[in-house]
Amino acid sequence: MSQELVLAVDIGGTKLGAGLVDVEGHVHRHAEVPTPAAEPELGVALTGLLGSVVGDAAPRAVGVACAGPVDPPHGTVSPVNIPGWRDFPLVDLVAETLPGVPVTLVGDAIAAALGEHWLGAGRGTRSMLGIVVSTGVGGGLVLDGTAYSGPSGNAGHIGHTVVDPAGQPCVCGATGCVEAYASGPSMVRWARGRGWAGADARALAESAASGDPVAVAAFDRGTEALARGIVATATLCDVDRVVIGGGVAAAGPVLFDPLRAHLGRAAALGFVKRVTVAPSTLGRHGGLLGAARTALLASRATEPVCAA
């Protein structure tokens, strides 16, 4: 491959993805493998994936999007939904696999938001909130056209915003977080506790689309919590648009119809009422493209400036 490329990596609780991406956002040699449960299988799977994707190419930089919390200043990650990694030196592992190539780490939801802002449903907006509803609920902010990760790299983490202080316990250790209600596993657990017997969140969405009252109630309950988190974020950050992706968002109207209804009831201020909600248009490539964009911007920032 002769064009300028970066290696983009997207690490989540269910899959590890990687691809070579050019400056226009075209993805080459994309591949995915399931996320192993523990080390050393995790590291072996990741290094094998990177090697197979890179092949004989020479990427100028690497962008790594990972489920959070992440610690970009130290290059480590402790994903809530990947118990095998706690304070894991992810940047070092990638750098050892690709010696001499600069590596930039970003939270996966921030990457997804940046990808949507660059090439997807957030394109043309000034400020937006991106949300990934899947195994967990992640979020990322693009403010005034720039991804905002905050000093620790975890800004916009809407899934662990408390919307019900007396509510359900969350995997993060807090109580009443958005994720405790709106993630796929959370909705499935709630529905099973009320007699629903399906396999997973996809089956729950199919049941809700068919009118099953328990499945419909599970999505209503989850989207109410998600709407409260969105309203709180929009009130603080004054975003123009919310873009929602992830496996659960693939449910379509089953998710978006009750979500918009709850937003209409929960939003009180005019500048919050104007916020639009849209499904992701990049799908599984959102985080990957955001990781690529992060790497491209970081590599340009380090280019030497020629004096006249």
In three state form, how does the secondary structure of the chain look?
Answer: CCCCEEEEEEECCCEEEEEEEECCCCEEEEEEEECCCCCCHHHHHHHHHHHHHHCCCCCCCEEEEECCCEECCCCEECCCCCCCCCCECHHHHHHHHCCCCCEEEEEHHHHHHHHHHHHCCCCCCCCEEEEEECCCEEEEEEECCEEECCCCCCCCCHHHCECCCCCCECCCCCECECHHHHCHHHHHHHHHCCCCCCCCHHHHHHHHHCCCHHHHHHHHHHHHHHHHHHHHHHHHHCCCEEEEECCHHHHCHHHHHHHHHHHHHHCCCHHHHCCEEEECCCHHHHHHHHHHHHHHHHHHHCCCCCCC
Residue 290 has pLDDT above 50, yes or no: yes
Model confidence over 226-242: pLDDT tens digits? Answer: 999 999 999 999 999 99
Residue 246 has pLDDT above 70, yes or no: yes
Which of the four pLDDT bands, split at 50, 70 and 90, describes residue 14? confident
Residue 134 has pLDDT above 70, yes or no: yes
Q: Which residues contact 212 (CB under 8 A, 6 or more apart)?
A: 196
Which of the four pLDDT bands, split at 50, 70 and 90, describes residue 3? low
Tell me the domain boundaries of the chain: 5-106+285-301, 121-281
Model confidence over 255-265: pLDDT tens digits? Answer: 999 999 999 99
- Which residue from 199, 197, 271 is spatially nearest to 234, judged by alpha carbons? 271
What's the whole-model pTM score? 0.87
What pLDDT shows up at residue 278? 96
The CATH H-level (homologous superfamily) assignment of domain 5-106+285-301 is: ATPase, nucleotide binding domain (3.30.420.40)
Range name among 39-43, 140-144, 157-161 with the lowest pLDDT average:
39-43
Beta strand 128-133 with 103-107 is unpaired
CATH for 121-281 is 3.30.420.40
Whose tokens are 């939003």? That residue is 267
What pLDDT shows up at residue 301? 60
Q: Prior bond to 304 cis, omega within 30?
A: no
Cα gap 168→177, rounded to integer Å:
8
What average pLDDT does the segment 26-46 reach?
Answer: 90
Length of the chain equals 308
Q: Assess whether the region 5-106+285-301 and the region 121-281 belong to the same CATH fold.
A: yes
What pLDDT shows up at residue 304? 41
Range name among 102-106, 263-267, 282-286 with the lowest pLDDT average:
282-286
Beta strand 276-279 with 241-245 is parallel
- Which residue from 5, 118, 12 is spatially nearest to 63, judged by alpha carbons? 5
Residue type, position 165, single letter: P
